[in-house]
Structure 1
Amino acid sequence: MPGDDDIALDEKRMHGDKRGETVVYVAGGMGLTRVEVAGDQVGRFELPLRDEVRDVAGRDGRLLVATDDDVLVGTGEGFEPTGFGPAAVVGLAPGAAGTGPRPLAAAPDGEVATLRGDEWEPVGTVDDPRAIDGDLLAAGDGVYRVDAEGLDRIREGAATDAAAAGPYAACPDGLYELPDRRLRGGEHTAVAADTGGGRAHAVAGGGLFTRRESGWERADAPTDEPVVDVAYGESVYAVTATGTLLVRADPEQTPDGRGGWRSRALGVREVRRLAVP
């Protein structure tokens, strides 16, 4: 039986609501969860992949999934293997003019490759790959920029996450604007930023922080569960380690015109990442 949020989404379709529907993907130990969101309403969700998923990346309508067996590409009708082998992290970098995003992947042993046509081409090796965003790769030995020529280390020292639109890096000793301007002290585990909306968020101690003109402030997210990742689409999306999806919509995107945060438990666990294609 559909829940209240499912009904709300159906009513929007029936009555011609013009708020766009966004699909959010959550990666974790139970698999890949696909969630439909409209404005601040979290609707139907399902598990199209039920094997453990290490990472997921989305960009310009494309979806890339890292598993213990391979890197998969979302096709709209399912998932196609690429022949990469076991993957730790994946990402989608901007492609050349007139082309789509450029798939990137890193294996657990640190080998990094880019997909050209149907073939993966090695571009270098890092120590302990942890996250890819755009053309930035966060690893245990630094932050790298990945290009056609290989890897260029732009910051030394361990990094947990990176946001190409900042550019920012989340590190064990702080949040940095790359290469080395420290914005906040303390251990940071995730960071996200977008170019179009000027939004940026970071995670420290499981708490969610948002960038303001006055600096980085704690977001008023409606949960005490530790947040693990943030992504952007029509709204701001965050997910907790225990599988609660958080959505922050602007007032014009919500039925009551108030905006703010909504949340819904997805019933999944061991959550690692989320992505919006």
Structure 2
Amino acid sequence: MLAYLREQLAARRRRQWVSKLLVVGEGGVGKTSLLRALRGEPHIEGLETTHGIQIETLDLAHPTEADVTMQLKAWDFGGQQIYRATHQFFLTNRSLFALVWNARHGYQQGKLYYWLDAIQARAPQSPVILVAAHTDERDADLPLSDLKAKYPQIVAHYAISNPSGAGIEDLRAALIESAAGLPLMGEVWPADWLDAAEALRASREKHIAFSQLERIFEERGVDSAGVRVLARWLHELGDILYFQDRAVQFSAHWYINGQD
């Protein structure tokens, strides 16, 4: 009987291999092209600059778990000044950051200190990988030791070229290693939490009051102690915007641009 109960309990819990990747940096440094390269898509010269936030998916094989594919929800942030006031709300903790800069223009023009300060303030537990793009035009030159001393979150620095693909595979390997160690990657979710999360993701509302979120969760069996934990997890995964029992926002695009 005990073995049966354990089996039933295990059947109602599933590991979720999903987390969030935030690709940040100044406008026009090659963030969108980098994500295309990581997905194995061909390089497009003169690709239009991202405005606001573009959300895609990046699938990566787990480094140690056989037959497991990790899914990173990749947030491609437009680096223009106009969006920075809203970006702060999406720099979630316990996520993975790729901070991209243009080696041709230099790290100072890439405003690495600005971005690292923002990440450190908003997401102090998140690893950061620095990515120097355009290294086919100029070698990457930056004070890496000084940066690592000031920002211990920096786990690596890679030089890449989006057009040629140079350095992409090394960067992919680093992303795989860091993604596998993220707190929510491979986390075990109770079945009622999964049901509640799917119900929330299926909602057509642009925003709801926290009391509505509580009702959705509790109707699907999430207890009162679990409501805020699940809300925080979904916030960190990028499914919702949730700040301490205030209204819950669903669409990042709507929040920034007033549209889906």
Normalised by the length of structure 1, the TM-score is 0.25
Name the one with the larger strand percent.
1
Larger Rg: 2
